[in-house]
Amino acid sequence: MTFALFHAPLREPSQFVGYAGNIIDRQSEKRSDDSVERALAENSARLMLMRGGRILLKVRDDGYDAHFTSSDSAPYAPALDQAVLLGQSAQGPVLAVPVGIDIETLPEEIKAIDYRSVNVQGLLDPETLGTLAQGAALLAWHASHGFCSKCGSPSDMRAGGYRRLCPNCKTEHFPRTDPVAIMLAVTRERCLLGRSPHFLPGMYSALAGFIEPGETIEGAVRRETLEEAGIRLGRVVYHASQPWPFPYSLMIGCFGEALNEDISFDGTELEDCRWFSRPDVRAMLSGDKSLGIFVPPKAAIAHHLIRGWVESD
C-alpha cells in the first residue's frame, strides 16, 4: 500500500496549517456496515479516545501519544458501539471512540487536552493532528444527529460512521462539513484586520463568516467583508483551506482586492477594525510582545493568509 497519493505537492499552502496534515487512507469505497467491528478485531487497531472536546493523550518522556490499543483503552470506558473508522494508517486501522470516563479521575500518565490547545501547542505530529480533526468532527456530528430529521425516530450508525440510517422511514443522513470563508482584504500596501470581542487582548485577525446556502465562496467573501467592515471587494482569490473541528467546519481562506478604504463597523461583531501596513504586520508576525498587538499563531489559517500577503510583492 502506498500513502504517497495522499501527500500534497511541495509548498501547497494548505499543508502548512494546523489540522491539515491528514494522510490516512480513508478507503471510502470500501466502507461497510461491519467496518468498525472488523477494524476493532485487528491487533494493529489504534483508537483515539475523545470526550467533551478533548482528546486523551498518553504522557511520554518525549511528548504525547494519541493512540491506544483496544486493551489499553479499556479503563477509560470506550463506547465501542459509537466508534467511527477513520481509515487505514501505515500501522493499521485508526478509529475515533467517545469515552465515558470522568476526565477529573484520569491517572497521572493520561491527560485530556482540548483540541485547540493540541493544535496551538503543537502536541502531536501533523498527520495525527489531522486525524484528530477528522475523528472530532465525526464524533460531534453523531452526538448531535442521533434522531432522524425527517420523522424523529432514533437512527443507526452505518458505513463505519459515514452515514446514519433511519430504521423507520429509511432516510439516509450523511456527516456534514460547514464551510466558513476567512478572508484578508488587501490594497497594494495595506491589509484589513479586525478584533472580535472574544479574541485574546491585542490580537487582530482576518475577517470570517459562514458561507450561506446559495452562495459562492467569492460571494460570501465579498458579503462578509462589506457587512462587517464596509469594504467592497473586487477580485477574490482562493489561497488555502483548513479543517476546523469546532464542531465540523472547513475554513476556506481567500484574498480580496479592496475597492474602498473607508472602514465602517458596528461594534458588535467587531470591536475594532483597521488597515495595517506591511511593516506593521511584519512586526506583529515577529512575535515582539512589546507592540501589544499580534496576529493568530501558525496553527491558524489566518496566520498563513497574513504571512502570505506580507511575503508577496
Residue located via cell numbers 467491528: 37
Contact 25, 6 (CB under 8 A): yes
Is residue 148 a contact residue for Zn ion (CB under 5 A)? yes
Is residue 113 a contact residue for Zn ion (CB under 5 A)? no
In terms of CB distance, is 143 or 169 closer to Zn ion?
Answer: 169
**Other C-beta atoms within 10 Å of 123: how many?**
18
Which burial class, exposed, middle or buried, applies to 254 when counting CB atoms under 10 A from its CB (0-12, 13-18, 19+)?
buried
Got the DSSP string for 11-42?
T-GGGGSTT-----B--GGG--TTHHHHHHTS
Q: Three cell numbers at 296?
A: 493568530
- How many angstroms separate the CA atoms of 135 and 49, rounded? 9
Cβ at position 140, least distance to Zn ion in Å: 21
Cβ at position 172, least distance to Zn ion in Å: 10
Is residue 151 a contact residue for Zn ion (CB under 5 A)? yes
Task: Give the interface segment with Zn ion, choosing from 93-101, 104-112, 151-159, 238-246 (CB under 5 A).
Answer: 151-159
Ramachandran region, residue 120 (left: φ > 0; alpha: ψ -120 to 50; beta: rest): alpha
Single-letter amino acid, residue 196: S
- How many angstroms separate the CA atoms of 297 and 304, rounded? 9
Cβ at position 270, least distance to Zn ion in Å: 41
Q: Among residues 150, 174, 271, 277, which is the contact residue for Zn ion, using CB under 5 A?
A: 150
In terms of CB distance, is 166 or 284 closer to Zn ion?
Answer: 166
In terms of CB distance, is 41 or 151 closer to Zn ion?
Answer: 151
The H-or-E segment that residue 310 falls in is helix 301-310
Task: Give the interface segment with Zn ion, choosing from 147-155, 256-264, 265-273, 283-291 (CB under 5 A).
Answer: 147-155
Give the contact letters, 153-172, x = binds to Zn ion (CB under 5 A), - = no. x------------x-xx-x-
Cβ at position 171, least distance to Zn ion in Å: 5
156-158 and 163-165: which strand pairing? antiparallel
Single-letter amino acid, residue 96: A
In terms of CB distance, is 147 or 162 closer to Zn ion?
Answer: 147
Residue among 13, 11, 97 at smallest CA distance from 48: 97
Is residue 146 a contact residue for Zn ion (CB under 5 A)? no
End-to-end CA, the chain: 42
Give the contact letters, 245-274, x = binds to Zn ion (CB under 5 A), - = no. ------------------------------
Cβ at position 220, least distance to Zn ion in Å: 32
Q: Residue count at the site for Zn ion (CB under 5 A)?
A: 8
Is residue 149 a contact residue for Zn ion (CB under 5 A)? no
In terms of CB distance, is 15 or 171 closer to Zn ion?
Answer: 171
Residue located via cell numbers 502548512: 16
Contact 68, 135 (CB under 8 A): no
In terms of CB distance, is 151 or 259 closer to Zn ion?
Answer: 151
- How many angstroms separate the CA atoms of 151 and 158, rounded? 18
Task: Give the interface segment with Zn ion, choosing from 12-20, 79-87, 94-102, 143-151 (CB under 5 A).
Answer: 143-151
Is residue 176 a contact residue for Zn ion (CB under 5 A)? no
Cβ at position 250, least distance to Zn ion in Å: 27
In terms of CB distance, is 75 or 167 closer to Zn ion?
Answer: 167
Contact positions vs Zn ion (CB under 5 A): 148, 150-151, 153, 166, 168-169, 171
